[in-house]
Chain A
Amino acid sequence: MQDRERKDVVREYFEARLAQPVGRRGFLRLTSGLVVATASGGFLAACSSGGGATTAPTAAPSAAPTAAPTAAPSVDISGATIEFIGLDGEDAANIASAKAWRDERGITLNSKYIGTGDEIFAALTAGQQFDIAISFNPYVNRYATAGLIQPLDTSRLTNWADMYDGLKNSKFLNPDGKPYGSPIAWGDGPVVFNPAKVPAGEVPTSISALYDKKWAKRLTMSNDPAWLFFLTARMLGYSNAPFLTKDELAKVAERADEFVTQNVVSFAATYADATDLLVRGEVDLSLLGWEAMLNFAKEKGGTLDFGFLSEGKGGWSDSFCIPTNVVDIDAAYAYMDAIISPQINADVAVALVSGAVNKKSVALIPAESNIYDYANVESPQDGVFDDYLAPETSDDPNIATRAEWADAWGKITA
């Protein structure tokens, strides 16, 4: 779908939804950062961007896909209780098709909603037991390395074979060659801007354009170095990003310091916060972007638009993962398989304003909601999930680690 046609579809989609309430899920996406800020101080970084997609190692698709739209578990899970931890909405608690699936089997969904991946990390580390834990794409490796989640037995997922290759074989999902979760939704991480302040001819298509002084004090972004450092590294010609040497990191940080000092007004805590800044006119463009922000803006009486930067693809994907201390693994697999089944996953995509993960779901999504380009998830090589996170550790002492990226960012923001 051409970008122009796609934007027309998006506008029609959001105009059609104008009278609809945001709903509980959207409300909690809006306020999740506020809840965390008041309670304990976590800012939402979920669903922001990125993941990893380089060459797909293995992939082990499992049993041949069945014709049934929902999984028929080989183990009787009637009456089971599924303990879930993740973002409100991603448990499909209020999605009719998922609820019908649960009611048919007498399954109770017991959900704990959180605002950040770190809260999930903390809960699992503390030994709290869940059957399903959401992982945002940058966190899968972290949870797997910490031994908090287990690799999937994809033979237990009848809908696994129908999942887009760019998701199930992505690097972020398979840190050691085995998949550690099942993606349930994805997005492409656009930049979002106010078209009244950014005319058509001035819409930036690269980070290098955003470095220009004409963007002085017109931008917002999340308080996280990863995406800005990655894009800046690509701009400077460091094709090995995010595996930067310490010297390269120093040069990237120096440029990023200019960017933040000159062009960034404030850091947005959440997508809703970024929307608020755009609608109020405090900023003209947000590096932190999600198509749903157009809907948030409509509800505030504003109009926004979105675009993409050429240096990198900031896609996001959230996955169902099974903790190592899972209580009911059979129920976990069954629900996971149900969520990625064609109809339920189509409904999830509409509800979360995201892309579907099952190829058969796309045809089931209403035209006005079908706003994503699925070429982005056809293959890991051409996917939308750039691996933009610095390595946690490195055998090569010259390669800058994530802690060093954080130190560099601390100097910029101090």
Chain B
Amino acid sequence: MAAGPGRPLTAGLRGERGRLLVSIAQLLPALVYFALFYVGPLLVLVYISFLSFRNFQFVEPLTFNNYVNVLTSETFRILFTRTVALSILSAVLAVGLAYPFAYIVTFVFPSRSRSLYFLILVALFGGYLVRIYAWRTILGVEGVINGTLMTLGVIEEPIREILNGPFAVVVSMVNFLVPLAVLPIYAAMQNVSPGLIEAARDLGSSRLQITRRVILPLVLPGVLVAFAFCFIAAAGDFAIPALLGGVESPFIGNQIQFQIGQTSNWPLAAAMATTLIALVVLIVAGVTLVARRVIR
């Protein structure tokens, strides 16, 4: 129904069709942005992954050779396995640390929740590379840990293995990921009514039972989002493995960087990247499915 004299402009937007149009209009800017800056480049990446690389040129015809290489190479299998394993470990540890922190902020010290929440936000203010180099200072042969242990007489020689290995990679990643994990879990806990917890307590539930049967099912979406954030961020990282992992802990991202930066073989790098994306999506979906079945 068109607007006219005496009729409000929005008269035509009432009803189901009108609501649909309003929803689309509200989503349109975000959809355009998403299409231009995510879907578009992703499609270009996928297209490049089907090209070949000869004499510094990307050539057609389109081929599956790069994917065959990625899926059958022992080298890439080792890299993907290490990447997934250390990323899952880092994500689980980050969520494991973030959950009790969010619980304490929400239910134990609710009056101080803003201050504690701000502490988490402050952790995100530090630069990413600055924090990686800080871990070098802490974990290095002349770092804080070795210096303290040697001063206390616990060791006579510095422990070199603290840095330049998977331990340093996981520690640094968890340090980076915990703030990312706290945010969605804390947000989910805001929807847990204290009345439910009181009722459960009145009915004789222990703290563990309250956590397992009342709180966790309600905050599960937030926990799964936290895991996804952490796992995706960790799986795509290459700076931490490069700067703290030594020669023993490269991720698939380091190999992607090598293929782009040293050999200019973008098609192979694109195939590795799209394979990683597919793998990450499968793992996140799998974890979500299992978690929803186990935690009800």
Residues on B lying within 8 angstroms of A by beta carbon are 54-57, 73-76, 78-79, 128-129, 133, 136-137, 140-142, 160, 163-164, 238-239, 242-243, 245-247, 250, 253-265
Question: For B246, what are the chain A residues with a Cβ–Cβ distance below 8 Å?
Answer: 265-266
Question: For B256, what are the chain A residues with a Cβ–Cβ distance below 8 Å?
Answer: 41
Is residue A214 contacting chain B, with contact meaning CB distance below 8 A? no
Bound: A223/B255 CA distance, A: 10
Q: Are A267 and B253 in contact (CB under 8 A)?
A: no
Q: Are B257 and A403 in contact (CB under 8 A)?
A: no
Q: Are B75 and A118 in contact (CB under 8 A)?
A: no
Question: For A38, what are the chain B residues with a Cβ–Cβ distance below 8 Å?
Answer: 128-129, 239
| Seed contacts A34-B129, A223-B242, A409-B258; 20 additional CB < 8 Å A-B pairs | A37-B242, A38-B128, A41-B239, A41-B256, A42-B257, A43-B257, A118-B260, A223-B254, A261-B247, A265-B160, A276-B136, A280-B136, A280-B142, A281-B141, A282-B136, A403-B265, A406-B258, A410-B75, A413-B250, A413-B254
Bound: A261/B238 CA distance, A: 20
Pick the most buried of B55, B129, B245, B262: most chain A CB atoms within 10 A of its CB: B262
Among B164, B243, B264, which residue has its beta carbon within 8 angstroms of that of A265?
Answer: B164
Bound: A188/B73 CA distance, A: 37
User: Please, could you name 15 A-B residue pairs with CB atoms under 8 Å apart, sorted by A?
Assistant: A38-B128, A41-B239, A41-B253, A41-B256, A41-B260, A146-B56, A217-B160, A223-B242, A223-B254, A266-B245, A282-B140, A406-B258, A406-B259, A414-B78, A414-B79
Question: For B257, what are the chain A residues with a Cβ–Cβ distance below 8 Å?
Answer: 41-43
Q: Are B258 and A223 in contact (CB under 8 A)?
A: yes
Q: Are A45 and B55 in contact (CB under 8 A)?
A: no
Bound: A118/B264 CA distance, A: 7
Is residue A110 contacting chain B, with contact meaning CB distance below 8 A? no
- What are the interface flags for A375-414 relative to B under an 8 Å C-beta threshold, 1 for contact and 0 otherwise? 0000000000000000011000000001100110111011
Is residue A246 contacting chain B, with contact meaning CB distance below 8 A? no
Q: Are A142 and B54 in contact (CB under 8 A)?
A: no
Is residue A349 contacting chain B, with contact meaning CB distance below 8 A? no
Q: Are B242 and A402 in contact (CB under 8 A)?
A: no
Residues on A lying within 8 angstroms of B by beta carbon are 34, 37-38, 41-43, 45, 116, 118, 121, 142, 145-146, 217, 223-224, 260-261, 264-267, 269, 273, 276, 280-282, 392-393, 402-403, 406-407, 409-411, 413-414
Q: Number of residue pairs across A and B with beta carbons under 8 Å?
A: 106
Question: For B253, what are the chain A residues with a Cβ–Cβ distance below 8 Å?
Answer: 41
Q: Are A406 and B262 in contact (CB under 8 A)?
A: yes
A306: min CB distance to chain B, Å: 22
Question: For B160, what are the chain A residues with a Cβ–Cβ distance below 8 Å?
Answer: 217, 265
Bound: A392/B54 CA distance, A: 8
A218: min CB distance to chain B, Å: 10
Q: Are A392 and B55 in contact (CB under 8 A)?
A: yes
Bound: A269/B129 CA distance, A: 13
Q: Are A410 and B239 in contact (CB under 8 A)?
A: no
Question: For B136, what are the chain A residues with a Cβ–Cβ distance below 8 Å?
Answer: 276, 280, 282
Bound: A34/B239 CA distance, A: 9
Bound: A217/B164 CA distance, A: 10
Question: For A223, what are the chain B residues with a Cβ–Cβ distance below 8 Å?
Answer: 242, 254, 258, 262
A395: min CB distance to chain B, Å: 13
Bound: A131/B75 CA distance, A: 41
Question: For A414, what are the chain B residues with a Cβ–Cβ distance below 8 Å?
Answer: 74-76, 78-79, 250, 255
| Residue in B closest to A142 when the chains form the complex, CB atoms | B56
Question: For B73, what are the chain A residues with a Cβ–Cβ distance below 8 Å?
Answer: 410
Q: Are A282 and B164 in contact (CB under 8 A)?
A: yes
Bound: A108/B140 CA distance, A: 47
Q: Are B242 and A410 in contact (CB under 8 A)?
A: no
Bound: A402/B136 CA distance, A: 33
Among A37, A281, A393, A411, which residue has its beta carbon within 8 angstroms of that of B55?
Answer: A393
| Residue in B closest to A261 when the chains form the complex, CB atoms | B247
Bound: A403/B53 CA distance, A: 10
Question: For A403, what are the chain B residues with a Cβ–Cβ distance below 8 Å?
Answer: 263, 265
Question: For B56, what are the chain A residues with a Cβ–Cβ distance below 8 Å?
Answer: 121, 142, 145-146, 392
Given contacts A393-B54, A406-B265, contact A266 B247 (CB under 8 A): yes
